[in-house]
Amino acid sequence: MSENLRVAVVGAGRMGADHIQRLHHRIKGVEVAAVVDVDAWRAKEAIEGIDGASAYTDADIAFEASGVHAVVVATPGHLHEAILTRALDRDLQVLCEKPLTHDAATSWNVVQSEVALGNRRIQVGFMRRYDHEYRQLREIIQSQELGRLLMLHCAHRNPQVPEGYSDSNTVAEAAVHEFDVIRFLTGAEIAGVHIRHGRSSQHAGKGLRDPQQVLVETSDGTLADVEVFMNAQFGYQVTTEAVFERGVINIGGDAGIRRQAGGRWGGDVSPGFETRFQAAYDAEFQAWADAARRGTVDGPTAWDGYAAAVCCEAGIKSQASGVPVKVNLHTRPALYSA
C-alpha cells in the first residue's frame, strides 16, 4: 500500500483522544479518517484540526462511509465484542485496546471469528511489548546469555484509583498487563494464579483490598510474584526483576535496564552518538519539519551556527598558544532576537 492507511478511531475518551493525536502527529503513513463516539460533540471535538477526518456516532456507518482500512478500538471493554465483529465483517485491520473483550467466553468468540476469516486482523493493545526495556529483557531471556530464566518479581504501582474501584478491577485493568508480560517474556502460557491479601492501605477505597500479591506459575515452571498496588501514592512505577541461572536483570526502575552478573552490577554505556542521540535526532527532524511546513524555523538558527564557528576559532587559537582567547561576535541581527 503506497497510500496512507486510513484509520477510524472508535471511542474518543481520554485514551481515544490521545491516540487520535498520536496517529495524526507522530505515526508515519497514517491518516485519521473517522472518529466515532456515541457523544457526537466529543467526536467532533476530536477531529478538530485534522483535515479530511469525519465524526460519527455509529461505528458501522463510519466504516461504511469513510472508506477506512483500519480501526483503533478505544471504547469501554464491554463494547469491544460488537465493534470487533463489525470490523472483522469488513475485514479491517484492528488495534484493540485491552481487554480484547470483557470476558473469556466472548474473547474466545472473537478468536473463532478471526480464525474463520483465516487472517490475523486484530492486534491487542498490550503496549508494554513495545517498551524498549521489556524487549531487551525478552531478548536476554531468549538468548539464555545468563542461563535459563527462573523467577520473575514484578510490581505494578499506580498513584491512585477512584472510589468504587474493586478487587476485580485490579485484575482486569492492572494485573492483566502483567499476565501478558509474563507470557510475552517467557513464551509460555500461564498455568495457575493465586492472589494473596494482607494489610490494606488506608488509601484504598471501600471494598478494595490494596495492595494485592498475585502469584503466577507458567506452564514450563517459571514462578512469578506480582505486587499490584493501585493507590501507591508516590507515582506510577512498573518494574520487573528477572532471575536467571547466572544473573539478574532489572527493568522499569529509574536507571534503565540493569544487569547483575559476573560480580558486577550496572548497565550499558551507549556505543556511539547515533544510539545516544537517536531520539534527539528524531525529535529535531520532526520539529524542523513541523516548523518548515509553517514556513519558519524555531530551532537553532544560522546565528547559532555563526557563534559556534567563532568559538571554534578561538578554541583552536588557544590550543596553539596555551592561553585564554576572547570571543568577539558581530552584533546580533534583529532577525535572531529571541
Residue with cell 471469528: 113
Measured from the CB atom, the residue of 38 and 195 that comes closer to its own copies is 195
Instruction: Find the part of the chain contacting its own copies (CB under 8 A) among 35-43, 56-64, 105-113.
Output: 105-113
Which CB, 57 or 168, lies closer to its own copies?
168
Give whichever of 38 and 306 is closer to its own copies, judged by the CB atom: 306
Task: Mark 133-172 with x for binding to its own copies (rule: CB under 8 A) and - for no binding.
Answer: --------------xxxxx-x-x-xxx-------xx--xx
DSSP line for 221-234: S-EEEEEEETT--S
Candidate list 162, 206, 279, 331; residue touching its own copies; CB under 8 A: 279
Cell numbers standing for residue 74: 478505544
Identity of the residue, 44 or 179, whose beta carbon is nearer to its own copies in the bound complex:
179
β-pairing verdict for 54-56 and 70-73? unpaired
Residues 95/73, Cβ–Cβ less than 8 Å = yes
Q: Strand 247-251 to strand 212-218: parallel, antiparallel, or no bridges (unpaired)?
A: unpaired
* DSSP calls for 132-188: HHHHHHHHHHHHTBTBSEEEEEEEEE-S---TT--HHHIIIIIIHHHHHHHHHHHSS
Name the residue among 256, 258, 239 with its Cα closest to residue 178. 239
Question: Going residue by residue from 52 to 91, which x/- string records binding to its own copies, judged by CB under 8 A?
Answer: -----------------xx---------------------
CB of 158 to its own copies, least distance (A): 8
Stretch that binds its own copies, among 32-40, 41-49, 56-64, 294-302 (CB under 8 A): 294-302
| 337 part of the interface to its own copies, by CB under 8 A | no
